[in-house]
Amino acid sequence: MTNTKKVIRTFAPLVGGLIIGRLTAKAQDDYKQYEKPPFSPPAIAFPIVWPILYTSMGVAYKIATDKVESADERNVLKRVHYTQLGLNYAWSILYFNLKLRKVALIESFALLAAGNIAATKFYQADKVSGALMVPYVSWLSYASYLNSGNVVLNKDKAGYTRD
C-alpha cells in the first residue's frame, strides 16, 4: 500500500467526522434547548473530544492493519472498523437531523457493541492499537448514557423527537 493510501485511511475517520459535524451543526442548536442528564459536558467539549477520538481510531486502524499478516485478517479489521465508523456517523444524522432520538438510542448501543468488537480485534492485532481504542469505547459508553438520559428527560416535550 502506498504512503498516500495509508495517510488517507488513517485520517478518513477525522475527515468523515468533520463532514458529519458540518451536516449536523445547525441541528445541534435544537439540542441545546432540552434538559440534560447529570454529568453532561459543556457543548465546547464535543468539538474538542471528537477530533481526538477520530484521529486515534484512524491511527489504531492503521497500526492494526500493518501488524496483521494475511489479507483475510486485514479484511476482518476493515469490516469491523468501517462498520463501527458508519454507525458512528449515522448516529449523528439520526439524532440531530432526523430527530429520531429513540432510534438513535438503540443505534448507540449497536455502535457501542461495534466499537468494542473493533477495539478487541485491534487489540488482538496489536496491543497499542487496542489501547488507542479505549478512550473511544469509553466515550461511546458515556454517549449512550447521555442519549438515554436525554430521551428519558425530554421524550414528552414538544418537538424533541419524531419517533
In order, the DSSP letters of 64-88 are HHHH--SHHHHHHHHHHHHHHHHHH
Domain-located, residue 161: no
Q: What is the pLDDT of residue 1?
A: 61
Residue with cell 451536516: 23
**Identity of the amino acid at 163:** D
Number of domains in the chain: 1
Instruction: Measure the CA–CA gap between 92 and 24, rounded to whole angstroms.
Output: 7
92 falls within a domain: yes
Instruction: Write the pLDDT tens digit of every residue in 102-111.
Output: 999 999 999 9
Q: What is the DSSP letter of 160?
A: S
| Phi, psi (degrees; rounded to nearest 5) at 41 | -75, 160
Q: Is residue 84 part of a domain?
A: yes
The CATH number of residue 120's host domain is 1.20.1260.100
Judge whether 123 lies within some domain.
Answer: yes
Residue 162 lies in a domain: no
C-alpha cell at 71: 489479507
- Give per-residue pLDDT as tens, 57-84: 999 999 999 999 999 999 999 999 999 9
Enclosing domain of residue 148: 3-154
Residue 65, domain member (yes or no): yes
pLDDT of res. 72: 96
Angle between helices 71-92 and 101-125 (to 10 degrees): 160
Q: Report helix, strand or coil for 38.
A: coil
Residue 125 and residue 119: Cα distance in Å, rounded?
A: 10
Asked whether residue 163 is assigned to any structural domain, the reply reads no
pLDDT tens by residue, 8-44: 878 888 888 888 988 888 877 777 889 999 999 998 8
Look at residue 108 and tell me if it is in a domain. Answer: yes
